[in-house]
Amino acid sequence: MSGVGKSTIAIQMFAKNFAQYDNVCFLENVSEQSEKSGITNVRNKLLSELLKQEITASDVHGLPTFIRRRLSCKKSFIVLDDVDSATQLDYLCGELDDLGPNIRLIITTRDRHTLSGKVDEIYEVTPWKIKDSLKLFSLRAFKQDHPLKGYECVSERALECAGGVPLALEVLGSHFHARKLKFWESELNLYENKEEAFPDIQKVLMVSYNGLSWREKEMFLDIAFFFKDENKDFVTRTLDAFGFNAISGVEILEDKALISISNSNKIQMHGLLQKMAFDIVRQQHIKDPGKRSRLRDAKDIYDVLGNNKVYMDC
């Protein structure tokens, strides 16, 4: 899930440990850099920083002997931030694994399947607990580590909206900073009761959604609207009936942390992701709910069905 703090943790680990190594490289936004300048240029940048000399080969598939020799005899620390495919990972560091224990590699990704069979350990970054969430939120909203007197209840409501996601805590905290209590209450009432999402939060969360195929997007929206907290087997059977081949689709959504499966085999979705899904559909036609692909608000449903406003694409 985007915004949960993967990159921040990687930055902190790099800052804490890089001095222990001879060669170091922190490559941020790997997927974005690869899209803009090409994966070969990204790999050249990686090798250039490790070797402390410019590498400009147009195709560096396979490590030349001199590079292997230099990397194998020194300790190297590499962080690859936001890798979005196994192909990217193989191209960037597929042969580095062969250089032995001198290479330490940390990878952040929004897709767990990217790491499958390629790493020794996977650490899943989860939403923050209440205590830490309140501290981060308060630092942004009040410039201290606890709420101001009289703002305790609205702060708790804001934490519920953020759902333990650091990005959301920072955005909401900054949004409410130096605002009067009535402003807090007005904004929270709007956010809690409507399908609209805060733009700065939505922008980050949409990165994962935009990376889905059409089938996966449709399944994600269906789960958000109709199947949250439902039994996984029931959901896959239902979606299969509509031609989705849902078993693989559900697994992909889980790998990308857009859903999770509970111990009781129920499909779960973070509240921010569900609100994002609601807003995606709302944006299909803001003023005419009858032209949207899905409905959830009781008033909209009554208005559409009661006034025969359903539109069919044929």
Query: Domain limits of the chain?
Result: 6-115, 130-194, 203-283
How much is the pLDDT for 77? 93
State whether CATH 1.10.10 applies to domain 203-283: yes
Distance CA 251, CA 264 (A): 16
pLDDT of residue 199: 85
H or E stretch covering 254:
helix 246-255
CA distance 73 to 251: 41
Predicted local confidence at residue 50, as pLDDT: 87
Global confidence as pTM: 0.82
Low-confidence stretches of the chain (pLDDT < 70) are: 57-65, 95-100, 195, 308-314
- Strand segments, DSSP code E, in the chain are 23-27, 76-80, 103-107, 260-261, 267-268
What per-residue confidence (pLDDT) applies to 313? 58
- Quote the pLDDT of residue 66: 72
- Give the dihedral sign, CA 249/254/255/258: positive
